[in-house]
Amino acid sequence: MFSQLKPLPTDPILGLMAAFKADTNDKKIDLGVGVYKDEQGQTPVLKAVKKAEEFRLANETTKSYIGLAGNLEYCQKMEQLLLGDAHPALLADRVRTAQAPGGTGSLRVAAEFIKRCNEQATVWVTTPTWANHISLFEAAGLNVKEYPYYDYDNKGLLFDDMVNTLSQVPAGDVVLLHACCHNPSGMDLNFAQWQKVAEIAKVQGFTVLVDIAYQGFGTSLDEDAAGLRHLASQVDELIICSSCSKNFGLYRERIGACSVISKDQATADIANSVMLSVVRSIYSMPPAHGADIVNTILSSDELTAMWHQELDDMRSRINGLRSLLKDKLNDKCEGMDFSFIERQHGMFSFLGINKEQIERLQKEYSIYIVGSSRVNVAGVSKDNIDYFADAVAAVTK
């Protein structure tokens, strides 16, 4: 059986990770992998997480299974974090949530759930979108199409084109939106644009799936979820895939959630039964550790305040780097304008350089970015930013 298999290409980002690790240049910079890094180039464990883990170690009494939906207190806390404490959908008991193994796990649960709802559904994603979105939905047997989003020429949004395309998406299809800190472009919808999309969704009758993997990394926890919350107040049905990898720094704990909002309580119960059936068929029950950490933090005023401060510090560092990076590149790269970097949100941005220049950055300067020119801004530091800017200026002359 195995002899019939053909080798598949290595994921580009995983390949970059391996090449970076093997590089012996002490000036090497990794801007490819999408994890937060501090000034020392490390991805630290948050202090609030450390304290929550100490509490868990001292108070855990069992290693038994936690059920298909996972930690129910965690699920409730995530609903409140995403939607706010008094959102109409929560007050009407229209929301059901299942803990999932990371944001990727929540997306796969959503994909299989969509398949159960409508086998012929097409999922519409932004051009471009997170590299794994398309393969996740296709692996579940769903059709995938793209709609215009990022304007590569003007470093902004193709919102009029986006509206024109979404206005033709039929009922029964699903439209995926990034809640904030769009991966890979960093360009987000403003609130007025979210309102317009909500209007289109109501008229057309398609279902929206919101991927929210960076809440708190853009402007604030509440502002980053403002578009999502408005949408959830306007439509009868909504799917939300969330992740705690970035804002809690729990990458390797693989903790996320899949939430479905239905038109009423009875329909929500039915949707929940289908979602839990999907969970049972994929991984049966989620791991406990990450959900317990998040629940412990969000159940404690002291730890929540500590987490808020650490999240504010991470966001401030990224936004500060965006401004500094814009200044350095504009100063060193004659005839080029990188002002767009400062207008974007989250960790990612397209530099807008070509593949030959990207290859030169890696070969001549040991600077690693993916072929689309997406950079992880958090991979830059005050110690290496001049080296990076000088290298970009050299390859773009």
pLDDT digits over 48-65, tens only?
Answer: 999 999 999 999 999 999
8 A C-beta contact, residue 295 and residue 77: yes
Catalytically annotated residue among 130, 173, 188, 332: 130
Catalytically annotated residue among 51, 77, 155, 246: 246
Q: How confident is the model at residue 10 (pLDDT cuts 50, 70, 90)?
A: confident
The residue written with tokens 């690693």 in the block is 368
* In the predicted structure, residue 391 carries a pLDDT above the cut 80: yes
pLDDT of residue 250: 98
Q: How confident is the model at residue 13 (pLDDT cuts 50, 70, 90)?
A: confident
Largest CA distance in the chain: 63
Q: How far is the C-alpha of 224 from the C-alpha of 228, rounded, in Å?
A: 8
The DSSP call for residue 346 is S
Q: How far is the C-alpha of 344 from the C-alpha of 315, rounded, in Å?
A: 12
* In the predicted structure, residue 14 carries a pLDDT above the cut 90: no
Given its phi and psi angles, is residue 348 left (phi above 0), alpha (psi -120 to 50 degrees) or beta? beta
pLDDT digits over 181-216, tens only?
Answer: 999 999 999 999 999 999 999 999 999 999 999 999
User: Can you list the domains of the chain with their CATH numbers?
Assistant: 10-43+308-395 (3.90.1150.10), 65-299 (3.40.640.10)
Please give the model's pTM, rounded to 2 decimal places: 0.96
The DSSP call for residue 149 is -
130 belongs to the catalytic site: yes
Q: How confident is the model at residue 11 (pLDDT cuts 50, 70, 90)?
A: confident
pLDDT of residue 29: 96
8 A C-beta contact, residue 368 and residue 20: yes
pLDDT digits over 251-297, tens only?
Answer: 999 999 999 999 999 999 999 999 999 999 999 999 999 999 999 99
- Cα dihedral 261, 267, 268, 274, rounded to 10, equals -110
Q: How far is the C-alpha of 380 from the C-alpha of 372, rounded, in Å?
A: 18
pLDDT digits over 133-173, tens only?
Answer: 999 999 999 999 999 999 999 999 999 999 999 999 999 99
pLDDT of residue 59: 96
Q: How many residues are present in the chain? A: 397
Coil, strand or helix at 225? coil
Q: How far is the C-alpha of 38 from the C-alpha of 141, rounded, in Å?
A: 39
